[in-house]
Structure 1
């Protein structure tokens, strides 16, 4: 009986891994791109690469409402049914934002799991410092807790004054969407 149960679980695991490996990740990406385009968000000039279990997007330019917003060196999408993540590396914001925040974001990591399906959690680091991200999909709110760097504290005080001060010395940015 135990042997049959173990064999069944191995078959299920093998099927799930094969499903993830052979899933049409590029087609899923193009579908997501169409949905974002309806909101005025477009990724352009990107190179797609299906890496088996992940989808890599390289050298993308992000446009929001037809304005160039950022250049992204690499995006790595991991779509694992129960655990999905997005890793962004080498994000450089448009020069339009240079008066408000530092432009270089080293890394951004977002996670969505079926164990907490109503939230997307993430971490971000760059010239601005570090940030913890929480997106509530039901309330449609974004909350970013920023631990500013010295550069952010000295050169971008005006921006920090517009944010709520946290009890731990950080700053909170909140936005509804």
Structure 2
């Protein structure tokens, strides 16, 4: 008798959890559609979405968070705002660099680093200048360091695209790196 009541209880709980997960799936799908719609209609999102490693979610989040692009004088300030630049301690003319500061927006930094990791996974064996830069960076360094370096580079490119209202030109970016 107790075993039968327990099995009914477990079945009811499993059904409720399944229904809740189905509701969450529908809500996530609805949010994803809305994000894609904003991405398709916003010119700034379209421009920065051309950068490898930046998709609709990252592009819309960056555009929404940045707001006034004039508050950053350059790409390094923007990357620092995201927490993607190394900590620096200088004394007596000697500059010492440490790990990234992580002082910026955790969510945006995470999106940028995950996007960079996706690019790293597809860059091996490609011959374009950006992939060659990634391969040169990979040789002596840990993959996490390369991912953060690429995220930093992407952040600077994003700032340039937002500040200059220009389209993305990969060949020019690779030459600058």
- Is the shorter-chain TM-score for this pair beyond 0.5, marking a shared fold? no
- Bigger strand share: 1
TM-score (norm. length: structure 2): 0.29
Relative contact order, higher structure (CA 8 A, sep 6+): 2
Larger Rg: 2
